[in-house]
Each structure stands twice: as C-alpha cells, then as structure tokens.
Amino acid sequence: MIIAGQPVSGTGDEIRGYDPAAGVDLEPAYRYGDDSHVDAACAAAAEAFGAYRATTAEQRAVFLETVADNIEAVRETLVPRAVAESGLPQARIAGEVGRTTGQLRLFAAVLREGSWNGARIDPAQPDRTPAPRADIRQREIPLGPVAVFGASNFPLAFSVAGGDTASALAAGCPVVVKGHDAHPGTSELVARAIAAAVSACGLPAGTFSLLFGSGPGLGTALVTDPHIKAVGFTGSRSGGTALVAAAAARPEPIPVYAEMSSINPVFLFDGALSTRAADLGRAFVASLTMGSGQFCTNPGLVIAVDGPGLDEFLAAARDALVDAPATPMLTRGIAQSYAKGVDALAAEADLVVRGSADGPEASCRAALFSTDAASFRASGVQQAEVFGSSSLVIRCADYADMASVAAALEGQLTATLQADEIDHPAAAALLPVLETKAGRILFNGWPTGVEVGYAMVHGGPYPATSDSRTTSVGARAIERFLRPVAYQDVPNALLPSAVADGNPDGLWRRVDGQLTRN
C-alpha cells in the first residue's frame, strides 16, 4: 500500500494477483490493511485538502499530465503485469494505458478551459426598489477527500488512476483508492506513478493513497471515515448498494457514485433485420465476446419481432458462437459467478447456443438464450446482469410487445437501436421510453466501447448507477466532486479569481444570466 507517499505493508490477509490465462498465482504477496491504515490515509487526505485545493487549475493540470507521463514511463513493466493479472489480451491492455493517460490529459484540458468553475455573477443593483440588490457571485469548489474503489474489469482505466481518480484530483479533491484484489501488482505500479507525481509537483503527500482490503471491512471503514466526502465505485450491484447504504447511514451522509449493473438492451428493427440480419448476428457476437464479455456495456439483451429476420440473426450468431473459445475471466470468483448466472438463465430460457468449453480454469464459455416477452416481463432472473459473454434474445410478437419490454426494463447504461431508414418511425416511437431508461442511446453500433470525451454519458437510472444525474466517464465526471458556493458583497481583493472583477482567469462566466467571456 502507499499511504501519503510512503510504502506501507498491511497486517491482514494475504492476496496475490492471479493469472487466469496460465491458471497460476503471481508473486509477490500483498496484505490487506486495517482500520489504522484507513485512519492514516484519510487523515492525511484531510490534511492535504486545504493546500491541494488552493492549487491553481494550471498546477493541477500539470500534475495530471505528470501522472500520465509517469504511467507511460513504466509501460514496459505495467502492460505485462496487467495482462498477467487480468488475462486480457496485450493489445487491449496497451490500449487501456492510452485510455488512462488520455483521461488524465482530458481533465488537464478541462481544467485549463475553466468552465468547471461554474462562474456566475449577478452584479449589485444599488438603485433597485423596493430594496437594493447585493452583488452575488458563484463558483464551484471541491467537496473534500474522495474514496475511489478500483474496478476489476479495467485494471487501468477504471482503477487506481482511472476516471474516478482523475476527475476527483482534477476537482481539487485528495483521493484514497481501495485497489481491487484482482490486480494488486498493477495497482502498486500505478500508485507509485501517482505518488511520484505528487512529490514532483510539490503537492502535499496526503493528496493520494492506495489501500488494499476487503469491501465489507476496509471498504466500509473507508466510506464511513468522517474525512471522506464522496465515493466513486465501479462494480457489482450488491457491492455498490452496500456502499450507498453505508454512506447514507453516516452522521453526515455523503454522495456515492456507484456504477453497478446494466444489461444494455439492443433493439433490432424489422428493416435492419431484413437487410443485414447475418451481419448483425456476427457483429453482435463480436461485441458480446470481446474481453470475455466483462464490460459494463456488454449487450446482455436483444429484443426483436419474431420472424425470418430474427431467425437469420440467430443462425449467424449461433455459427459465430459455437466455435468461440472459452476465454479467461478476470478472477476465479467472477468465473464462478458467471457460471451461476448462466445456470439461472438456463433454468428459465431456451438455450440457443453455448461456445466451446475448452479453456483455462477461470474462463468464460459464451452463452446465448432466447425467451418471449411475457416470460421476460414476469422474471427477475432474466433481467439480472450476468457479467460475462451471456445474452438473452427476446422474441416479440410485434412492436407493441417490444415496447412493453422496453417499459419493463430497469435503468441501463445504454440502449441500442439497429434501425434502417424505413425503421425510423418505429424507432422514434421507442426513443422517449429509452431516454427514461438509459444514459446513452446508440444507433447501428454496439454498446461496448465508451468514448472518453466531452459529450459522453456513462451513467443511467438505477440500478445502472446510484446517481443518474452524473457520468463516470468523460469531462462532466469532474462535476461529481464539486459544489457551488455563493459570495455576497465579498470585497474584490478577497474574491476567488474565478469570479473576481475583470475576469483575470479569462473564463466563460454567466453575468446576469448571460454567458460572456468579458
């Protein structure tokens, strides 16, 4: 573990990375921390907060870029370790390094652009009747130290220096990460890169710490530490729900941004099926099996009107899946959960095809099932996420049946429509329902693959996330760790520069409700 810049060994259970492709445990052993480590990391974060939030946006931008540089500097060590600890292909992990450093650099750009300050000015109106108006200005400030829970499925991009950490650090919040047990070695390498950047940039050591520990134990202690003011989490519905409950039960409740569970429905319209059913079937399988299906946005549900088009789609999917090799999953536990989820589906739905059973111990044997709309609507099991390459096709009687499935859906990260131009009226009729169900709506694509940009929403109504008003990917993720403060008649010399006279920071500001850069 790294606590405020110092390497610290834990006192609890031993954990090791596990190479699911080779089926072997990895050296060295790491140990779980205890409550004293949580206390130390959170106290250091609280102590660092004042000085860290007083840094300029430019200083924090340089810091994030330094973290990115430091991660790139250890790429030769980092990539093989992350490949070994995840069983994910080298190209995928190499891409994830770029995604991780790209996220850090995106937030550096966001900091420099400056709109995150939310600067607003309502100038005084001393002559207003019946009462004069005071001068009121508003800007955003950071919430305080943030706890981040690394995810298993993106050992870099959603882990120690992932989007939650990058956006919280950008906002001016010190970060305490609980690293995921699945990749302690990768976590250590990245944590060292961050700690080195903290030091090189002259920031307080408590700006960043990495801990290891169990979720119910150390994780709960972290979320309930009084110094922690917000939480970022990507993981299971049960894990996220437990953290939300723990945060709500604090004497001072705090926000939890938990990205949890989504089956990412894909709606196939008749026109699209009539022109490209087989292509869709193959592309679907490619999305379904990528990374052993271990994506939050894996297409776990396909909805279409029954008929020859859907048959053709299923035939193509069957052909593509039947010989698909069983591929390594991140951990033995995830592989066991996947097998259980598939068994539960098999008890309720019709099997279309399983992939090949040949694979290492902790591997994912793809599975495709089918059911009908009435059965789906009546079932809890069929709507539960099965993390891995498992999907369920719903044969609908007609578009009204399809709409009833859409209406019955829980909240989702994504909803996809495969629709040709001839399908646009039917698609348009479904769109308002899908908007209320999902954070991102895609046409003629596949939900896996989440762009990191300014317009992305990686979020959605419960249980996709615990807070549908936010995104955990993309520029707006910084907003989760900010809150507004108003300044009434504060003398200019004491105002933060974001809202000072003369716009010294050159920001876009809302003056009397109108955006201006003057």
Q: Please list every residue from 430 through 489 that binds its own copies, using CB under 8 A.
A: 431-432, 435-436, 438-445, 449, 451, 453-457, 459, 461-463, 466-471, 475-476, 482-489
Task: Tell me if residue 42 is catalytic.
Answer: no
Task: Tell me if residue 259 is catalytic.
Answer: yes
- Choice between 213 and 460, CB closer to its own copies: 460
The answer to whether residues 483 and 273 touch, using CB atoms and an 8 Å cutoff, is: no
Angle between helices 57-73 and 163-171 (to 10 degrees): 150
Q: Tell me the closest approach of the beta carbon of residue 428 to its own copies, in angstroms.
A: 5
Residue 113 binds its own copies (CB under 8 A): yes
Q: Tell me the closest approach of the beta carbon of residue 16 to its own copies, in angstroms.
A: 33
Segment interacting with its own copies, rule: CB under 8 A, options 179-187, 325-333, 384-392, 506-514: 506-514
Is the peptide bond prior to 130 cis by the omega test (within 30 degrees of 0)?
yes
- Choice between 123 and 308, CB closer to its own copies: 123
Residue 504 binds its own copies (CB under 8 A): no
Q: Quote the CA–CA distance of 8 and 211 in Å, as a whole number.
A: 9
Q: Please list every residue from 131 through 190 that binds its own copies, using CB under 8 A.
A: 131, 133-134, 136-138, 141, 143-144
* Plot region of 46 (φ>0 → left; ψ -120 to 50 → alpha; else → beta): alpha
Q: Tell me the closest approach of the beta carbon of residue 65 to its own copies, in angstroms.
A: 17
Q: Tell me the closest approach of the beta carbon of residue 468 to its own copies, in angstroms.
A: 5
Q: Tell me the closest approach of the beta carbon of residue 254 to its own copies, in angstroms.
A: 8
Looking at residue 194, its amino acid is I
Torsions phi, psi of 201, nearest 5?
Answer: -90, 5
- Greatest Cα pair distance in the chain: 81
Residue 126 binds its own copies (CB under 8 A): no
Segment interacting with its own copies, rule: CB under 8 A, options 180-188, 259-267, 348-356, 422-430: 422-430
- Marked catalytic residue, from 259, 312, 385, 410: 259
Q: What is the DSSP string of 244-297?
A: HHHHHTSSS---EEEE-----EEEEPHHHHHHHHHHHHHHHHHHHHGGGG--TT
* Residue of 161, 205, 173, 198 whose CA lies nearest to 44: 205
Q: Quote the CA–CA distance of 370 and 345 in Å, as a whole number.
A: 10
Out of 163, 172, 255, 300, which residue is the one contacting its own copies (CB under 8 A)?
Answer: 255
Q: Quote the CA–CA distance of 279 and 288 in Å, as a whole number.
A: 14
* Residue of 153, 140, 515 whose CA lies nearest to 337: 153
- Marked catalytic residue, from 42, 296, 364, 396: 296
Residue 117 binds its own copies (CB under 8 A): no
Q: Tell me the closest approach of the beta carbon of residue 201 to its own copies, in angstroms.
A: 20
> Site size for its own copies, by CB under 8 A?
81
**Binding string to its own copies for residues 39 to 78, with x set by CB under 8 A, is what?**
-----------x--xx------------------------
Other C-beta atoms lying within 10 Å of the C-beta of residue 446: 21
**Catalytic residues, which ones?**
259, 296
